[in-house]
């Protein structure tokens, strides 16, 4: 299936052959890494290692959050929080020369990793990777909200649907495992 103008069919994932330089912190100094972009969907570019199921999820979230016109580059790599490696958050950074926004997903986090929650009394099993990626995308649209709020809102959106984004207050969310 081909891409027609600005309309992107929801099940279409195209191939691309582009490279981009992404800044990373290694041993307390800034290092530029060359990343090969191999998949494209709308204005979202993906490197090797981003699961196909996550590509569809990311594109749908980008459309719902109104980030379609923004260039987003998703890759896998080492994510650190205060010089300590972490598996439970993504790294978001703006690239030089208005190239877009780089979102780095933890390399060691498996796509199939799940966690159980009780959301408004209803039991839900959610993928951890989807929660952390949606939380990172919410960081781009809700900068003034805390990381705890964004993670809880991401879990609520995945479990209850996109109408949870418009709700003023968070539902009751309890981790049950």
**pLDDT value, residue 6:** 66
Half-sphere exposure for 89 (CA within 13 Å, toward CB): 16
Spans in the chain with pLDDT lower than 50: 1-2
Q: For 79-105, what is each residue's pLDDT tens digit? A: 888 778 899 999 998 887 778 899 999
The owner of tokens 């972009």 is 37
User: What pLDDT does residue 25 have?
Assistant: 67
Tokens standing for residue 21? 């330089």
Burial status of residue 78 (CB atoms within 10 A of its CB: 0-12, 13-18, 19 or more): middle
Share of the chain above pLDDT 90, in %: 50
The answer to whether 90 and 82 are in contact (CB under 8 A) is: no
Q: How far apart are CA 51 and CA 5, in angstroms?
A: 26
Residue 70 CA: distances (Å) to CA of 14, 63, 102, 115, 140 = 18, 10, 11, 31, 10
Q: What are phi and psi of 71, to 5 degrees?
A: -80, 120
Cα 62 from Cα 164, distance rounded (Å):
16
Residue 1 is predicted with a pLDDT of 46
pTM value? Answer: 0.85
**Integer Cα distance of 8 and 41 in angstroms:** 7
């Amino acid at each position: 299936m081909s891409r027609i103008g600005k309309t992107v069919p929801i099940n279409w994932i195209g191939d691309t052959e582009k490279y981009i330089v992404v800044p990373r912190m290694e041993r307390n100094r800034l290092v530029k890494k060359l990343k090969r972009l191999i998949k494209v969907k709308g204005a979202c570019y993906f490197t090797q290692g981003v699961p196909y199921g996550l590509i569809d999820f990311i594109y749908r979230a980008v459309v719902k959050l109104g980030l379609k016109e923004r260039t987003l580059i998703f890759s896998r790599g080492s994510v650190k929080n205060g010089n300590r490696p972490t598996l439970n958050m993504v790294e978001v950074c703006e690239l030089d020369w208005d190239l877009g926004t780089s979102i780095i997903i933890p390399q060691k986090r498996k796509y199939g990793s799940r966690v159980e929650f009780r959301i408004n009394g209803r039991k839900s099993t959610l993928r951890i990777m989807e929660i952390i990626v949606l939380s990172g995308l919410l960081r781009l649209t809700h900068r003034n909200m805390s990381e705890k709020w964004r993670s809880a809102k991401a879990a609520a959106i995945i479990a209850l649907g996109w109408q949870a984004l418009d709700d003023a207050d968070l539902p009751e969310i309890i981790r049950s495992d």
